[in-house]
Amino acid sequence: MVEKLDPHQLAEIAAQAAASKLATDVVAIDVHEQTIITDIFVICSADNPRQARAIMNEIDHACHDAGADPTTIEGNDEFRWVLMELPGVIVHIFLAEEREYYGLERLWNDCPRIELPDLEEAAQAEQARVAAQGVRGDAASLIVGLD
């Protein structure tokens, strides 16, 4: 039986998975004292809908491997703002212009930020993996998350 993860552990897994697909501006916000809907928001940005899809798929796989499947995934038709609901965590994957427009960080500005581990390492590992396998074959899987 897989050990149940707490929201902080799930947020870290989601953030690292997002960073591995080169998500930018990854933040985690502790909202548990302000709302009953969840404990933590993880917010990140993608450059385009294909990258947002790759980030969503990677988070889905990483959380599944950890024993915590998303209960809800919304916005996966256009991939401009994808919302993934995990136990105690809601992940928001935005295109940059959508993130700026909706301003969730401004809305939850009074809530404390959660310190995340160095996410640069996850991004560098993915870049190295793609480089090692050749640009042509796996650049597409980096963007669309087909691997």
d(CA 84, CA 90) in angstroms, rounded, equals 6
For residue 65, the cross-strand partners are: none
Give residue limits of the domains in the chain. Answer: 7-144
Nearest residue to 26 (alpha-carbon basis) of 62, 50, 69, 59: 59
Residue pair 47/55 in contact by the 8 Å Cβ criterion:
no
- Please provide the CATH number assigned to the domain covering 7-144: 3.30.460.10
Tens of pLDDT along the chain (147 residues)? 456 889 999 999 999 999 999 999 999 999 999 999 999 999 999 999 999 999 999 999 999 999 999 999 999 899 999 999 999 999 999 999 999 999 999 999 999 999 998 777 766 776 676 677 765 544 555 555 554
Q: Outline where DSSP puts E strands in the chain.
A: 24-30, 40-46, 72-74, 81-86, 89-95
